[in-house]
């Protein structure tokens, strides 16, 4: 077991259903901590960069169209074996195959509108969390870095930093 960070996206279908809180509760109830997060509307470039490994696949164009169709909530989850735990909580990519009680079985409409994304490996988690923030200027990643720094401060400094916003 090891403490890991993983990137999680609550997709436009789930955001529009007003279930961000219900999904985050699944993570919290299973020992994952939300250590950074931001609601934002991805551009084509943001989504294309994020899903570059799927470029050329038959579902790529629809995936980009869907991921830019409305706001998403991007978050970093931290905890013991966070990467695999998040994937277990999400369930199969295709909600018709997802186990009962998983996020996708309970909240997803289809393989495209499947409620959540989660990093699939340590390499992806590192890449996804570190994706260049400066390019779009509206990413969660800058705030992630700030939060990670804040998290490592002693309690008094943490409080002061939080108060400073």
Active site residues: 117
Give min distance, CB of 112 to ligand CMP, in A. Answer: 5
83 binds ligand CMP (CB under 6 A): no
- Phi/psi for 33 (5° steps) reads -105, 135
Query: In 3D, which of 146, 144, 140, 148 has the Cα closest to residue 40?
Result: 140
Pick one of 34, 105, 111, 126: the residue that binds ligand CMP (CB under 6 A).
Answer: 111
Q: Decide whether 126 or 161 has the Cβ nearer to ligand CMP.
A: 126
Q: Decide whether 63 or 74 has the Cβ nearer to ligand CMP.
A: 63
Q: Could you give the C-alpha distances from 132 to 37, 72, 91, 121, in angstroms and in order?
A: 16, 18, 28, 19
14 binds ligand CMP (CB under 6 A): no
Pick one of 35, 112, 122, 148: the residue that binds ligand CMP (CB under 6 A).
Answer: 112
59 binds ligand CMP (CB under 6 A): yes
How far is the first Cα of the chain from the last one, in angstroms, to the nearest whole number? 33
Q: Which x/- pattern over 120-139 shows residues binding ligand CMP (rule: CB under 6 A)? A: --------------------
Q: Decide whether 109 or 160 has the Cβ nearer to ligand CMP.
A: 109
**How far apart are alpha carbons 16 and 79 in whole angstroms?**
27
Sign of CA dihedral 40, 90, 58, 130: positive
Query: In 3D, which of 84, 67, 68, 99 has the Cα closest to residue 32?
Result: 84
Question: Footprint of ligand CMP on this chain (CB under 6 A)?
Answer: 54, 59, 63, 93, 111-112, 114, 117
């Amino acid at each position: 077991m090891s403490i890991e960070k993983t990137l999680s996206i609550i997709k436009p279908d789930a955001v529009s259903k007003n279930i961000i809180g219900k999904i985050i509760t699944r993570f919290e109830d299973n020992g994952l901590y939300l250590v950074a997060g931001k609601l934002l509307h991805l551009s084509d470039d943001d989504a294309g960069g994020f899903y570059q490994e799927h470029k050329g696949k038959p579902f790529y164009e629809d995936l980009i169209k869907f991921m830019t169709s409305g706001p998403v909530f991007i978050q970093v989850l931290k905890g013991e074996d966070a990467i695999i735990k998040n994937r277990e909580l999400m369930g199969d990519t295709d909600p018709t195959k997802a186990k009962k009680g998983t996020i996708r079985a309970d909240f997803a409409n289809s393989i495209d509108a499947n409620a959540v994304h989660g990093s699939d490996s340590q390499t992806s988690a590192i890449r996804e969390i570190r994706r260049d923030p400066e390019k779009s200027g509206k990413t969660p990643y800058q705030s992630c870095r700030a939060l990670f720094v804040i998290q490592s401060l002693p309690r008094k400094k943490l409080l002061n930093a939080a108060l400073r916003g």
